[in-house]
Amino acid sequence: IVFTLLLIGACSTSRKSVETVNYSAIEEDSKGSTMTLDLQTGDALNHPTYVIWVEDMEGNYIQTLFITQSYASGVFGHEMQGDTLWMKKPGASHQPAALPYWGHKKGLIKNKELIPSPENPFTDAYTGATPKGHLKFTTKVEHSRPFRVLMEINQPWDWNNYWTNNKYPDSPAYKHSAQPSMVYAVSVWEGESEFYLNPIGHGDPKGESGKLYT
């Protein structure tokens, strides 16, 4: 299977954060498909948070394939202090508006909280730092086709004329996120060899729900 994901202006007004994501199936059996994720970054990449996961055709969460390590661990390279201050040291940061659609899809971590934290990290996926360039890794989808592949991506501090820094003045989560996350998806059917992920909406800008704004 080959998936090509064109993230046109993901959390940006003109330039691209992520250029393409390709999947190539190298093996398929009764337990699912082994695929290679091939991600090409765009010229506006600036340490976005993102996650890629799989659902069944009814929208039920199955598994997470990849998530950026900082979000999965709850420990970021620059610790957040208040609404505007980033420290020059790693530390815990609570970011409910970063990936809210995925967060509510997967449910509670260890039956305790939606947002990964140092006390309750999300460990059920391949994790890695936001790549400065090309990213390629192999993963297994533990579900037979058809299924859906989704990606949610959020690049912080990307204000524009609509998503201004005072749009939700009472929401610290929004102030940490700026423009809301973008969500992309594709349905993977039998007999097809190439799939294109298309934008289907954005997440809750305040991170208070798992609503998809189409």
- The answer to whether the CB of 176 falls within 8 A of the CB of 205 is no
Mean pLDDT of 75-91: 71
Question: What 3-state DSSP class applies to 172?
Answer: helix
**Higher pLDDT pick, 76 / 180:** 180
Which is it for strands 194-202 and 182-188: parallel, antiparallel or unpaired? antiparallel
Backbone angles phi, psi at 183, to 5 degrees: -120, 135
Q: Is the link from the previous residue into 96 a cis peptide, with omega within 30 of 0?
A: no
Q: What is the pLDDT of residues 126-182, one digit of tens each?
A: 888 777 777 777 888 888 888 999 999 998 888 999 999 899 999 999 988 899 999
> Percent of the chain beyond pLDDT 70?
79
Q: What is the pLDDT of residues 108-126, one digit of tens each?
A: 999 999 999 999 999 998 8
The pair of structure tokens assigned to 67 is 């998530």
DSSP state of 10: T
Tell me the whole-structure pTM to 2 decimals. Answer: 0.84
Lowest mean pLDDT of 7-16, 39-48, 57-66, 202-211, name the range: 7-16
* Nearest-angstrom CA–CA distance, 168 and 153: 20
- The answer to whether the CB of 141 falls within 8 A of the CB of 147 is yes
- The answer to whether the CB of 160 falls within 8 A of the CB of 179 is yes
Given this model, what pLDDT does residue 85 score?
65
- The answer to whether the CB of 177 falls within 8 A of the CB of 85 is no
Given this model, what pLDDT does residue 189 score?
84
Residues with Cβ within 8 Å of residue 108, at least 6 apart in sequence: 114
The pair of structure tokens assigned to 152 is 């949610």
Given this model, what pLDDT does residue 83 score?
59
Query: What residue type is 72 in one-letter code?
Result: A
Mean pLDDT of 62-72: 93
17: left (phi over 0), alpha (psi -120 to 50) or beta: alpha
Given this model, what pLDDT does residue 105 score?
96
